[in-house]
Amino acid sequence: MASFDDIDLRTLLAGGKRDWDRFVAAAAPVIHAVARRVVAAHGVSVDEAVDVAQDVFVRLCADDRRLLRSYDPARASLGTWLAIVARSCAIDHLRRRRQSHATLEEVPDSVAAVEDKHVERLNIPAGLLTERQALVLRLLYDRDMDVAEAASLLKVDAQTVRSTHHKAMLRLREHFRVEA
Amino acid sequence: MSETDPVGSDKDRALWARLKAASAADDVARLPAVFDEELAAWLDGRLPPHAAARVEARLAADPAMLSLALDTRAALHEAAGAPAPDRLVTRAQALVGFEVERQAQSGGSRLGRLGGWWRRLELAAVTGAFLVVCATGFSLGGDLQQTFAGDGERFDVAVYVANPLAESEVNFLADQGGQ
């Protein structure tokens, strides 16, 4: 499988066909995986993932690769950045597609809910928990992640996650005992 | 929470449920926005602690943002083991081919426009040359005319006719011609 390490960003942005082909070979699995997940979440046939992914590539090379030029290799890896950008592009694609095919009333609630911007609030007094502690509780309790998964996401070891969870719960118990 | 590596107790879970139902809230709207690049950097573990804390505050308070982060990470894992369909790769690679062709076409049209100008230049050159030839010819013709006209002034019958006819002979010929 082609690797992002083979990509010379400078020559890619200069517009070389060979560099574009190499970029596509490396990026297609990531973009297609994102597209598959997005179409599945929106209740669209997985067969359309290729069209959605193709639209992402179109956006990447449009306007003299304006979107691709916004990538800063000093900040993040190309693969991760692409995955996030591809998700936004894919959701935009499906939104446009939905607008052209159906009115809002015709969209099933289950599908519309995916775009719901309602935010489920984390009702913890400000400053009681650190950001990391709050996130660990979110991952473990709301997302049903196990410790290893949370540790992998946070780039820490499992013991650190357990410790963070423990300290967070201590603070919460203490706080609510005082308030009660 | 997963059963594979349990952490916390039922009491913890119950407390968490109460917290979610409580009135005090972190307002996600007052949290600073997290941009795509920052989230990507956080997923790569490249952010310094203070920036990572800002992203994590947002992730903890904003389920949509957290879903984005988790989905992205899952997609990256999936991509590592699943190649993209060939037709996607072919179509995407052809985008730049088409672009090059399009540029070539637009370049071709530029050439076409240049060709048009060239043809107009050719036409103008030919027309100019024609006019020059005409003018030259006209002026040449005028000179000859003048030359002949001048020659006419100096025309002397005696030069061309060594022995002119006598008047009676002329009259005789005229009579013959009239008959």
pLDDT digits (tens, 9 = 90+) for B88-131: 999 999 988 755 545 545 554 555 455 556 667 777 887 888 88
**Tens of pLDDT along A7-63?**
888 888 988 888 999 999 999 999 999 999 999 998 888 888 999 999 999 999 888
Return the closest-CA partner of residue A83 out of B83, B63, B47, B70.
B70
Looking at residue A84, its pLDDT comes to: 94
Task: Report the complex ipTM.
Answer: 0.76
| Residue of B53, B72, B84 lying closest to A87 (CB–CB) | B72
Chain B contacts in chain A segment 130-159 (CB below 8 A): 130-132, 134-135, 137-149, 153, 155, 158
Tokens, residue B18: 């109460």
- CB of A168 closer than 8 Å to CB of A129: yes
Query: How far off is chain B from A41, nearest CA to CA, in Å?
Result: 10
Q: Which range among A99-108, B46-55, B81-90 shows the weakest confidence by mean pLDDT?
A: A99-108
- How far apart are alpha carbons A54 and B32 in whole angstroms? 32
Looking at residue B141, its pLDDT comes to: 65
**Which of A114-118, A168-172, B15-19 has maximum average pLDDT?**
A168-172
pLDDT at residue A116 greater than cutoff 80? no
- How far apart are alpha carbons B149 and B145 in whole angstroms? 6
Asked if the C-beta of A5 comes within 8 angstroms of chain B's C-beta atoms, the answer is no
DSSP 8-state assignment for residue B23: S
Query: How far off is chain A from B98, nearest CA to CA, in Å?
Result: 10
Which of B76, B77, B86 is the best substitution to test chain A (most A C-beta atoms within 10 A)? B76
How remote is the C-alpha of A89 from its chain's centroid? 11
Chain mean pLDDT for chain A: 84
Walk me through the domains of chain A, giving residue ranges and CATH numbers: 4-115 (1.10.1740.10), 131-179 (1.10.10)
**Tens of pLDDT along B155-174?**
555 555 556 666 766 676 66
**Chain B residues with CB-CB distance to A172 below 8 A:** 15-16, 19
* Closest residue on chain A to B19 (Cα): A123
Looking at residue B163, its pLDDT comes to: 61
Contacts 24+ apart (CB under 8 A), A1-9: A1/A25, A1/A26, A1/A29, A1/B83, A2/A26, A4/A77, A4/A78, A4/A79, A7/A78, A9/A71, A9/A73, A9/A78
pLDDT at residue A154 greater than cutoff 50? yes
Asked if the C-beta of B19 comes within 8 angstroms of chain A's C-beta atoms, the answer is yes
CB-based contacts of A50, cutoff 8 Å, min separation 6: A32, A35, B85, B87, B88, B91
Positive or negative: CA dihedral A80, A81, A86, A91: positive
Verify whether the Cβ–Cβ distance B25 to A141 is below 8 Å: no
**Chain A residues with CB-CB distance to B78 below 8 A:** 33, 36-37
pLDDT band at B10 (very low <50, low <70, confident <90, very high): confident
**Tens of pLDDT along A65-79?**
899 999 999 999 999
Verify whether the Cβ–Cβ distance A84 to B2 is below 8 Å: no
Looking at residue B5, its pLDDT comes to: 59
Provide, rounded to the nearest whole percent, the portion of chain A with pLDDT above 70: 84
**Reduced 3-state DSSP string for chain A:** CCCHHHCCHHHHHHCCHHHHHHHHHHHHHHHHHHHHHHHHHCCCCHHHHHHHHHHHHHHHHHHHHHHHHCCCCCCCCHHHHHHHHHHHHHHHHHHHHHHHHCCHHHCCHHHHHHHCCCCCCCCCCCCCCCHHHHHHHHHHHHCCCCHHHHHHHHCCCHHHHHHHHHHHHHHHHHHHHHHC
Verify whether the Cβ–Cβ distance B63 to A120 is below 8 Å: yes
The size of the A-B interface in CB pairs under 8 A is: 207
**Chain B residues with CB-CB distance to A147 below 8 A:** 2, 5, 7
Asked if the C-beta of B88 comes within 8 angstroms of chain A's C-beta atoms, the answer is yes
- CB of A171 closer than 8 Å to CB of A129: yes
Looking at residue B124, its pLDDT comes to: 81
**Tens of pLDDT along B14-57?**
777 777 655 444 566 778 888 889 999 999 999 999 999 999 99
